[in-house]
């Protein structure tokens, strides 16, 4: 408990790791910017309107005809048909405008912070309908920042629009004295400039908001030094475990090098016990000498093949016995004597090899291996 409190009290000054960021995304948290959505949606809306501006007169006449027809329609069927046509046209316009805006919104999120699908983000939480928690969110620092951003955005847009319209006061007054067609032409002369200026302001606001959201997201995921240590333990294990793994790796490399170097000693062996190609153990024993047979070389896979090739090259007898070869491989060291438990089995094998080398014709002997020395290929004991 004391350690947990200590971790909580530590300042989170370290940048989040990629694992921390990925975990946050799994929980549905990602960088997002409402102002970027607003800007991209308006840009797409402007693009769609510009595309239809070439047929603006046709569209205007079409809608004018619709309302003109409605005002003179007397029969209920005619009215229903007119309403149906109006709804259909509204639907078509909504689809034409809505689909591009939706597509651009998706691409905007991909650009801003990527899209993350997380079931955790839509899990039911009582805090979402808790009014107290709701008030806390509204009056939190994040809520106040959002309120301040909204006020500043409205102020910037209103101020820019007011200044521009004030600058164009004469043109606006002129519009009121002209015909509808001429007023549209006059408005078309300066309203696009106003829209462009407002879009630039919105772009600046969107960039500032995106920058702030990235900063807030990274800040919310900051870690303490203890958090980094704990995460490092989870991903890579404790220092003791890592040291043990490193020792085992070095030992494996050392054994592999020793096995490779020992292949040249096979020419001094009396016999090579194989399995039949996966394992190979070269043994040497001088009759009448004290001590047990020694392992001159051993290996598996490619090393075993080299040992067998070297044995064939030097006309050394190869004896195939799967369990004996495995038992020797997993219980012996190069340059050392074999295990005492294998004395009998190896003695029978060497006696058989000695006799056939002297020209005797014999059946292969029945060699029994102690149960606790019967191994599978991966070194686990047979059950």
Q: Are residues 34 and 164 in the same domain?
A: yes
Please say if the pLDDT value at position 203 is more than 80: yes
Residue 208: inside a domain: yes
Structure-block tokens of residue 43: 């840009």
Domain span including residue 282: 247-373
Q: Are strands 271-274 and 279-284 parallel, antiparallel or unpaired?
A: antiparallel
Q: Which has more pLDDT, 71 or 382? A: 382
How high is the pLDDT of residue 374?
A: 92
Residue 322: inside a domain: yes
Q: Which of 69-78, 187-196, 337-346 has the lowest mean pLDDT?
A: 69-78
The total number of structural domains that make up the chain = 2
Percent of the chain with pLDDT over 70: 78
pLDDT digits (tens, 9 = 90+) for 278-308: 899 999 988 777 889 999 999 999 999 999 9
Q: Are residues 97 and 181 in the same domain?
A: yes
Residue 312: inside a domain: yes
Q: Are residues 203 and 94 in the same domain?
A: yes
pLDDT digits (tens, 9 = 90+) for 97-144: 788 888 888 888 888 777 666 666 556 566 556 666 666 665 666 777
Q: Mean of the pLDDT values across residues 260-275?
A: 90
Q: Which of 12-21, 30-39, 114-123, 310-319 has the lowest mean pLDDT?
A: 114-123
Q: CB–CB of 87/11 below 8 Å? A: no
Q: Are residues 342 and 306 in the same domain?
A: yes
pLDDT digits (tens, 9 = 90+) for 185-201: 766 677 778 888 888 88
For position 323, which CATH number holds? 3.40.1690.10
Distances (CA, A) of 163 to 160, 176, 305: 5, 20, 88
Q: Is 1 helix (H, G, I), strand (E, B) or coil?
A: coil
**pTM exceeding 0.85:** no
């Amino acid at each position: 408990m004391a350690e947990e409190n200590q971790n909580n009290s530590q300042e989170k000054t370290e940048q989040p790791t990629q694992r921390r960021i990925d975990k946050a995304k799994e929980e549905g948290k990602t960088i997002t910017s409402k102002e970027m959505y607003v800007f991209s949606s308006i840009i797409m809306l402007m693009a769609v309107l510009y595309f239809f501006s070439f047929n603006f007169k046709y569209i205007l006449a079409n809608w004018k005809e619709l309302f003109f027809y409605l005002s003179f329609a007397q029969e209920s069927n005619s009215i229903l048909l007119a309403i149906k046509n109006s709804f259909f046209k509204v639907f078509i316009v909504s689809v034409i405008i809505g689909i591009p805006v939706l597509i651009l919104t998706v691409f905007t999120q991909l650009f801003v912070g990527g899209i993350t699908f997380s079931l955790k983000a839509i899990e039911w939480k009582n805090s979402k309908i808790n009014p107290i928690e709701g008030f806390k969110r509204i009056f939190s620092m994040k809520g106040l920042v959002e309120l301040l951003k909204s006020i500043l955005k409205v102020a910037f847009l209103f101020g820019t629009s007011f200044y521009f319209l004030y600058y164009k006061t004469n043109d606006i007054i002129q519009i009121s004295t002209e015909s509808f067609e001429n007023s549209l032409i006059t408005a078309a002369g300066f309203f696009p400039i106003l829209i462009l200026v407002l879009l630039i302001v919105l772009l600046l606001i969107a960039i500032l908001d995106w920058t702030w959201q990235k900063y807030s997201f990274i800040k919310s995921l900051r870690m303490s030094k203890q958090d980094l240590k704990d995460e490092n333990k989870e991903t890579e294990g404790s220092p003791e475990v890592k040291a043990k793994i490193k020792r085992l790796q070095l030992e494996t490399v050392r054994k592999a090098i020793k096995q490779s170097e020992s292949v040249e000693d096979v020419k001094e062996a009396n016999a090579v016990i194989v399995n039949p190609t996966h394992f190979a153990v070269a043994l040497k024993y001088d009759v009448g000498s004290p001590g047990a047979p020694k392992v001159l070389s051993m290996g598996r896979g490619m090393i075993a093949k080299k040992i067998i090739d070297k044995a064939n090259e030097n006309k050394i007898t190869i004896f195939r016995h799967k369990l004996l070869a495995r038992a020797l491989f997993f219980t012996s060291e190069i340059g050392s004597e074999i295990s005492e438990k294998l004395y009998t089995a190896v003695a029978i094998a060497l006696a058989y090899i000695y006799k056939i080398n002297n020209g005797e014709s014999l059946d292969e002997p029945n060699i029994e291996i102690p149960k606790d020395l019967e191994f599978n290929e991966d070194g686990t004991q047979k059950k």
